[in-house]
Every structure is written in structure tokens, then in C-alpha cells.
Amino acid sequence: MVKAFFDTEFTGLHKDTTLISIGVMYETGHMFYAELTDYDKSQVDQWLQENVINSLTLGDMEENTYKFGGDMKVKYVRGTKDFVAKELNFWHEYLFHDEQLEMWSDCLSYDWVLYNDLYGHAFSIPENIYYIPFDICTMFQLKGVDPDISREAFADGFISTEGTGIDPNAVNKHNALWDAIVIKACYDKLNVMEVAE
């Protein structure tokens, strides 16, 4: 089973939220990053504009296109929800064939619902996606670390973008790919810590 660490950005903490972007960092070092063009723009408030929309990086790409970066380790996609779902599935098939993916996120309540919604609903996700997701918030709690800790501060020394073509100085929190990289770094550090007693 291959671990995939993912993050989503979306139009608000409510049941009608829509997906803005998704980033996935695989334990193999491969990555996937997509920005959606059909999210509900009427739901974007000032905070979302300043912190999420302004952190999008693929505005120069045509709609429903993709490109590769970082010596083919990163797939960038810009388009509609259906196009992003199709390209994400192609990427998984290309990289992992019949291997199952174990999905990890941070506070995954919205992330997992939106991931499933990419494919219509939970019963439509690709067969190679393990249907039970995991989150690092619970792992923080079990390891005796405050789950509200700054992820970047905690993961300092474990974050690596080497060979990916990603400049860590050019991205920030609320960019879904950067957050996915940080989630993996947190997992890596938590994984070598002892369980709290």
C-alpha cells in the first residue's frame, strides 16, 4: 500500500462548499496539484480571496490542460472538477497500477468529502483508493503533541522539496500542494516518535 498525503482548499466550512484546489504528495516523492475552474465563486469571501485564491499558481494554464514539472515527478492540472478527477485517476493508474493508495490528510473532515465528491460519491472512487482515510490530527493526539501546533514549525527539518522543481520560498500555507508536502513531513516526524503514555 502506498501512502498519499493530500490537502484541499475550498470555498468555506459549510455543507455546500466547493473544491478550489487539491494537492497530493506521495511517499514515492511524486506529486499531483490541481486548480479547479468551476468552483462556486459566489462563495469566495475576503479571507478566501487573500489566503487561498491569491495562493493559486496555475492561472497561466488553459482550462482543462495539464503539464509536468520536476523531472516528471509533478503533474499540474487546471480545469473543471470532472477533468481534474479524470487526470488524478490517470496519474494514480500511471504511477501505481494495481497498488492501493492509503489516503492521509490533516483535519480530513472536508478534505475526504471533497475527494469523494470529485468522483460523484464515495462508491465511485477508484478501486485502488483505500476507502478508510487517516489523519495526522489523531496521530498528533496519540503521540502527545498538541493537534493545534503549527504544522510548518513542527515539521521543520523534515520538509523536503528536493528534485521536485518546487521553490519552498515561493509557496505558502493554503496552497494545497505545499500543505500536502507539510502533512507528509509531519507524518514522517510523528512516525519516528514514541506514543505518549
78 neighbors 63 (Cβ within 8 angstroms): yes
Average pLDDT over residues 125-131: 92
Domain boundaries, the chain: 2-191
Whether CATH 2.60.40.1250 fits 2-191:
no
- pLDDT for 107 equals 87
Please give the Cα distance from 17 to 13 (Å, whole number): 7
Share of the chain above pLDDT 90, in %: 73
- pLDDT for 172 equals 66
Tell me the per-residue pLDDT of 17-74, one tens digit each, with 9 for 90 and over. Answer: 999 999 999 999 999 999 999 999 999 999 999 999 998 989 999 999 999 987 788 9
Tell me the CA distances in angstroms from 22 to 41, 189, 191, one per residue in order. 17, 23, 24
- pLDDT for 168 equals 65
* Confidence label for 86 from pLDDT (cuts 50, 70 and 90): very high
Average pLDDT over residues 175-189: 93
**Burial of residue 163 (number of CB atoms within 10 Å: 0-12, 13-18, 19+):** exposed
Tell me the per-residue pLDDT of 11-29, one tens digit each, with 9 for 90 and over. Answer: 998 889 999 999 999 999 9
